[in-house]
Chain A
Amino acid sequence: MSEKLKLVDQVQAINWNRIQDDKDVEVWNRLVNNFWLPEKVPLSNDVQSWATLTPDEQQLTMRVFAGLTLLDTVQATVGAVSLIPDAITPHEEAVLTNIAFMESVHAKSYSSIFSTLASTKEIDEAFRWSTENVNLQKKASIVTEYYRGDDPLKRKVASTLLESFLFYSGFYLPMYWSSRAKLTNTADLVRLIIRDEAVHGYYIGYKFQRGLESATPERRQEIKDYAFELLFELYENEVQYTHDLYDGVGLAEDVKKFLHYNANKALMNLGYEAMFPSSVTDVNPAILSALSPNADENHDFFSGSGSSYVIGKAVNTEDEDWDF
């Protein structure tokens, strides 16, 4: 970065005993409780499984993770940091520093996956590919451009779309391998990243909506138009990127459904209605259940689809705050 990074104008000692927005404390606590490091995940158990993938599948996997590494690096070094001067409360600044750090943990964890599974030559090839792939570079540069712009609300839109939408062309693949009982430890690690990004997208989307509250109707409309334009621009690029990656293994159409499904959730995190209809968001059930074992439709009591619903599940109800 050649230009000077904007910093917070004035710093006052942060007082966690005087809270302006309870959401800051709630999210801080949640992020702290969720803290993890890649060393905790036994990635080396995936070495045998890795050897069962074809060379094409291995190359695809390396490229997917190189792409995710780039996005996490953008978010850690530019994205989350660029939001700090816009913070409304000092506690929001503190939460954003946590988010920035965890993005660095995510970026580093892909290197743990690489070094466990692949040779130096293969790793270098994947990183080289990430610098040469036009659509990957375009997606990073579109988002970075808005991070460097001068509009705090637009920055939050870009950040939420990155956290809640742009990662998912990549996240699809470890979920796919996991559904086929391959690279399951790698998938466990990626699920931790997905969970973190869900909190980040929720929080930045929430702060975005707080920021909109004081805006004029004209300004709100301007931001809404901008958000959908940016989503379309990123979506078109994302479709190209998906074809670049997945055409060789015939999964592109399946991945696109996952993109639509996540684009809807990104919009909802910003407080906007979902845009893609259910006819194009019908994600492969195997992918959904790799993401969340609770996500299957059998839990839909209303649909009466014949499957017997379960009253609750065998969950641990010994929660200390849960006694009648």
Chain B
Amino acid sequence: MSILTVDDRSPAADPAAAGVAEGAVTDAALIYFSSVSDNTHRFVEKLGVRAARMPVLTREPTLQATRPYVLVLPTYGGITGKGAVPRQVVKFLNNEQNRSLLRGVIGAGNTNFGETYCLAADIVAAKCNVPVLYRFEVMGTSEDVARVTTGLEEFWT
């Protein structure tokens, strides 16, 4: 967990993956979705671990996980929580192997959204029977980064 790169190439942007319907295969232990706002992306960058970013566009082929991983995701949607899980993540988790390799979830959000704060992390965790490991707001503070860095190291040992 010491390689300081973030693999955020979308499959479409990667010539080697172009035309491969299954999408890019990744052995990263951290997989995340971040919209073009890049908030979650910035948080993951600060962790300084190798991570794989899901394609921003739902129509692009999704990632294929090959080892146990932790998922980082923001929450979408409004009052009711309907549509809270980004469709790109739904598509990714609809892959059975991706679902079976999921070990924990980290939620990104903003407490100003009240009851739906990090709701997507709750929904995925409940559905896949894994723990919510941590929650952070917007792009995370330095304390959040330190706690998640230590937490993930301990989680995998």
Contact = CB atoms under 8 A, between A and B. Distances in A.
Interface of A: 21-23, 26, 30, 33-34, 191, 194-195, 197-198, 202, 206, 209, 264-265, 268-269, 271, 273-274, 277-278, 288, 291-295, 299-303, 309-313, 315-317, 319, 321-322, 324
A294 B115 contact: yes
Interface stretch (B1-9, B22-30, B60-68, B146-154): B146-154
B36 A22 contact: yes
Interface in B139-157: 139, 141-143, 147-148, 150-152, 154-155
A265 B111 CA distance: 10
A315 B123 contact: yes
Contacts of A30: 77-78
Nearest to B153: A302
A33 B82 CA distance: 11
A319 B142 contact: no
Given A312-B122, A321-B90, A301 B133 contact: yes
Contact of A315 (B81, B130, B137): B81
B111 A288 contact: yes
Contacts of A278: 141, 143
B71 interface: no
Question: Which 6 pairs, one residue from A and one from B, show the smallest C-beta to C-beta distance?
Answer: A312-B126, A302-B151, A198-B112, A268-B138, A292-B111, A312-B125
Contacts of B36: 21-23
A319 B115 contact: no
A33 B79 contact: yes
A1 B155 CA distance: 59
A165 to B, nearest CB: 12
A34 B79 contact: yes
Contacts of A311: 125-126, 129-132
A322 B138 contact: no
Contacts of B155: 302
Interface in B98-144: 99, 104, 110-115, 117-119, 122-123, 125-127, 129-135, 137-139, 141-143
A315 B107 CA distance: 15
Contacts of A292: 111-115, 117
Given A278-B141, A301-B151, A310-B132, 19 more contacts: A191-B114, A194-B114, A273-B142, A291-B114, A293-B115, A294-B115, A294-B118, A299-B134, A302-B133, A302-B151, A303-B147, A311-B131, A312-B122, A312-B123, A312-B132, A315-B126, A317-B126, A324-B99, A324-B127
A321 B110 contact: no
B37 A202 contact: yes
B147 A302 contact: yes
A264 B35 CA distance: 21
Contacts of B77: 30, 33
A302 B134 contact: yes
